[in-house]
Structure 1
Amino acid sequence: MLKVLILLGLVLAGAAHANPSGTLRVIDADTVDVGGLRVRLFGLDAPEIGQPCVLGGQTIDCGRWAGDLVRARFGGQDARCTTRDVDRYGRQVATCDVGGVDMGQVIVAEGWAVAYRRYSMIYDLDEKAAVLAARGLWAMTMDAPESFRAARNAAPAAPDLACNIKGNISGNGRIYHRPGNRDYDRTVIDEGRGERWFCSEADARAAGWRAARN
């Protein structure tokens, strides 16, 4: 039995860190499907779908714009990817070779995404060249994708500062989060779904919520 569990663990570990290969389908400018696996391209960060940028006085959806350009350049081609990590969403974080070129390097060099220096400097010089040439995003006015996501995902403050306990409903049930809990800041209360604010833990427990573990 122990041998079976060990073998199963090795199989699962191998699947989690697979090197995807096959026909490439573009989801957006930094996310693709390769051989049935979802891949987050390593070392770069693309604008989000719905993220506004200003080009020549006109506002465009630069996430969709960038995704369309990556799709036109790489979509439907064969890719061989090298996985470096697996992210919290279960995606392979990988560099991908398409037709003998590093896909991520092309994307950053063309200005369709930014170098994600928080994780790697691999495309630092490619971005600097794109900036100097005012290519792609660097011809526009935009927020860094990471800054845009942070502003979009920022949870609103409690309507009453004395009632700042968040009663969240998820697949794990009814859970309340106190200030200082790990997930407090990213938990957003949707009162239309029955979620609510509480003034005390006693109130939350009496209403059927349980405390978050972290």
Structure 2
Amino acid sequence: MLRTPLAVLILSGALSPALAAESGAGHPISGRATVIDGDTIEVRGTRIRLYGIDAPEAAQTCETSAGRSYKCGREAAHALAERIGTGIVTCEPHREASGRRAAICRLGHEDLSAWMAAQGHAVADRRQSTSYAGAESKAWATRRGLWAGTFEEPAEWRRASRSAEAAAGSALAE
């Protein structure tokens, strides 16, 4: 069996540094994407989480600067769907610590995670990477998207939602 050293693959451009950093991450996937939510797409039947960001959940609400409630999770998903349109998305797989499939996905040369963070539709997920912290900071500084009002961090919202479901479930069991 012929083996090519990893460094040769990286230097030749046959393997991106992002893929090389993740052993066994898999091959890039390209195709039309279906948006599941603000940080999850499906390409050719494979569900992929956008690497390095966390977007509000579909049921999550946020508030505008005027205090009006809106469905920020749905707005994030809609913005991502509008950005992708009918374009071809290419995703370079990464593995999250949780084992879920994540990827750096691009529309042409544009990194969709960076775009979502820069538009304020998602926050940088610093547990995965600090790569998108700068884009998030720009959205915060210009009060774009989520930063135009108030919101609960998506991870905190999920934890609170799970706790409320668990409490409701145990109340029903009594």
TM over 0.5: yes
Match in the other structure for 2:80: 70
**AA paired with 1:97?**
R
Match in the other structure for 1:108: 117
Instruction: Show structure 1 runs of 4+ deviating over 3 A.
Output: 188-191
If the length of structure 2 is used for normalisation, what is the TM-score?
0.77
1:153 paired residue among 156, 162, 167: 162
SS at match of 1:118: coil
Match in the other structure for 1:206: none
If the length of structure 1 is used for normalisation, what is the TM-score?
0.64
Match in the other structure for 1:118: 127
- Please tell me whether the aligned partners of residues 21 and 81 of structure 1 are also in contact (alpha carbons under 8 angstroms): yes
Structure with the higher fraction of residues in strand conformation: 1
Match in the other structure for 2:105: 96
Residues matched between the structures, number:
149
Aligned residues with identical type, % of pairs: 39
Give the superposed CA RMSD: 2.3
SS at match of 1:27: strand
**AA paired with 1:60?**
Y
> How do residues 37-186 of structure 1 correspond to structure 2 at under 5 angstroms?
37-55=46-64, 56-85=66-95, 91-154=100-163, 155-156=166-167
SS at match of 1:141: coil
- Please tell me whether the aligned partners of residues 67 and 149 of structure 2 are also in contact (alpha carbons under 8 angstroms): no
Separation in structure 2 between the aligned mates of residue 132 and residue 19 of structure 1, nearest angstrom = 34
Evaluate the alpha carbon distance shift between residue 75 and residue 33 of structure 1 in structure 2; reply closer, same or farther with a 3 A threshold: farther
Evaluate the alpha carbon distance shift between residue 91 and residue 76 of structure 1 in structure 2; reply closer, same or farther with a 3 A threshold: farther
SS at match of 1:156: helix
Evaluate the alpha carbon distance shift between residue 123 and residue 94 of structure 1 in structure 2; reply closer, same or farther with a 3 A threshold: same
Runs of 5+ consecutive residues of structure 2 not aligned to the other structure: 1-23
Runs of 5+ consecutive residues of structure 1 not aligned to the other structure: 1-13, 158-187, 198-214
**AA paired with 1:156?**
A
